[in-house]
Amino acid sequence: MGIYLSKKIVRIVIRLRPALGDAMRYFGIIFTVLILLGTAYGQTDWNRWGTAPVLPTGNPGEWDDYRCIPGSVVANDTGYTMYYTGTHDFTFIPLGVATSPDGYTWTRYPSNPLTFPEGWTPYAPYCPHVMPDIGSQGWVMFAMRIEAGPFIDVCRAISEDGIQWYMDPAGPVFEADSSGAWDHADICTPSVFEWQDTLWMMYSAYDNSIEITGIGLAFSLDRGETWTRDAANPVFTPTPGPGWDHYIIDARVAPWNDTLFVMVYTGMSSPTGLPSIGVATSTDLRHWTRPLSYPVLGRGGPSSWDNAFVYQPVLSVIDDENVMFYSGVNNWGDAAVGLVVPPASAAPENPSRWLPQEIALSSFPNPFNATTTITFTLTQPAQVELSVYDILGRRVAVLQNGWLPSGESTVIWNAETQVSGVYYVSLNAGEQQVTRPMMLVK
């Protein structure tokens, strides 16, 4: 089966690694034959670049001679750097680097695989999302840490050169939520980017049975050291009922332009279905539209190098053009890294109807007797002050004062000690201000 169910199969492989080895190759072959017999070759709206992978598997006997799975592709002063996971027989899943002057021709780093950041052992960072510069921190990596505790979490590492990494801080920066929450178990495949002067993370969450529960959103106000969950979570969930993406894994998000975000993800009809790659778009990271009812990338033709299935998509920008790297698997179970580019017609439309124009503020009931519930919605995280004033402009209550995440929040105002009359609730959030009247009738 391989590791196309990124977290699920990695966890299974790690737990069973003493019994694995070359048997995984034969199991991959058998599994591939079975799915090939039952499924037609997929169609694609994105165009494969060339007829061969841009990063093939390593030479026989090398650490990455079985599978190469992309994690991040980032631009730097000399071209581009790709971080990828390589495997030989699944007893060891390390992290490697390849470099390219143009984004199409790749060379492996001679000292591969990389040394694990201290505290990340015994397994390398998985599905790494690397940013070449965040303020004065240099290179920063956010990635999954496996088998360090009861659940998979997200840790952060920093580097001066993108090669030697140090885990900072010593523990995870994003973990499972409290018991009973939708993301109470494993946290996987982080995508981190900057928008509106805030650092954002999209992440996948899995439950105890290793089934995905949805895609969540979080933000950081200290450059990634601590994270706050968005009030709108989960913001993307599997398609209910029958559908090619009823089972979702490996979701990654990146800005497409100044106002639009694109999510690429692996979808399957079931946990044993044939993986394909789909796309969704958003303008605010909270409302997502699946613009197509079928995958944008399926497996290649019968004689192609990726004729079994495709998975683990990663968005990047090469020469100011949006492209997608992915892992393609052949009939023998070997996986290499391929590249696809969208045709001009595939540029997603801007669903501007989702983008709130201003913050919302209301109260109910209104008029009210003694108590009313004040509801407000923020378009982005902000320093919020929510106050109530009487008809003379005197402030009679401060209901909220501090940072709040985007999305909807509610506050109950108890006006038992106030006299009947007109009051005004005022919301200050960043540069926006909204005031609404309320009537207290006793």
Measured CA to CA, the distance from residue 227 to residue 201 in angstroms comes to 8
Question: Are residues 362 and 251 part of one domain?
Answer: no
Domain end, chosen from 298, 317, 352, is at 352
Question: Are residues 119 and 259 part of one domain?
Answer: yes
Domain end, chosen from 296, 326, 352, is at 352
Q: Is residue 303 part of a domain?
A: yes
Question: Are residues 170 and 187 part of one domain?
Answer: yes
Task: Please tell me whether the peptide bond between 113 and the residue prior to it is cis, using omega within 30 degrees of 0.
Answer: yes
Question: Are residues 210 and 285 part of one domain?
Answer: yes
Q: What is the pLDDT of residue 129?
A: 94
Beta strands 261-268; 107-108: pairing state: unpaired
* H or E element that contains 412: strand 407-414
Q: What is the CATH number of the domain that holds 152?
A: 2.115.10.20
Question: Are residues 306 and 417 part of one domain?
Answer: no
Question: Are residues 82 and 63 part of one domain?
Answer: yes
Our count of domains for the chain comes to: 2
Q: Is residue 1 part of a domain?
A: no
Quick check: 82 and 106 in contact, CB under 8 A? yes
Question: Are residues 60 and 186 part of one domain?
Answer: yes
Residue type, 121: T
Q: What is the CATH number of the domain that holds 401?
A: 2.60.40.1930
Q: What is the pLDDT of residue 352?
A: 46
Question: Phi/psi class of residue 353: alpha, beta or left (left: φ > 0; alpha: ψ in -120 to 50)?
Answer: alpha
Q: What is the pLDDT of residue 335?
A: 95
Question: Are residues 202 and 99 part of one domain?
Answer: yes
Q: What is the pLDDT of residue 298?
A: 92
Q: Is residue 53 part of a domain?
A: yes
**Could you tell me the CA-to-CA distances from 358 to 116, 161, 362, 426, 432 in Å, in that order?**
45, 42, 13, 14, 8
**pLDDT per residue over 403-432, tens digit each?**
887 777 899 999 999 999 999 999 998 778
Q: What is the pLDDT of residue 351?
A: 47
Task: Enter the tokens of residue 48.
Answer: 């494969």
Q: Is residue 363 part of a domain?
A: yes
Question: Are residues 155 and 41 part of one domain?
Answer: yes
Q: Is residue 158 part of a domain?
A: yes
Q: What is the pLDDT of residue 201?
A: 96
Question: Are residues 344 and 406 part of one domain?
Answer: no
Domain end, chosen from 352, 385, 419, is at 352
Measured CA to CA, the distance from residue 192 to residue 220 in angstroms comes to 10
Measured CA to CA, the distance from residue 223 to residue 220 in angstroms comes to 6
In degrees, to the nearest 5, what angle opens at C-alpha 200 toward C-alphas 146 and 221? 105
- Print the domain residue range for 433: 356-440
Task: Enter the tokens of residue 137.
Answer: 């921190």
Residues 6+ apart with CB under 8 A from 303: none
Question: Are residues 385 and 296 part of one domain?
Answer: no
Residue stretches of the chain with pLDDT short of 50: 1-7, 9, 12-43, 351-356
Signed CA dihedral, 62, 140, 72, 188: sign only: positive
Measured CA to CA, the distance from residue 286 to residue 200 in angstroms comes to 12
Question: Are residues 367 and 347 part of one domain?
Answer: no
Q: Is residue 49 part of a domain?
A: yes
Nearest Cα to Cα of residue 199 among 120, 135, 145: 135
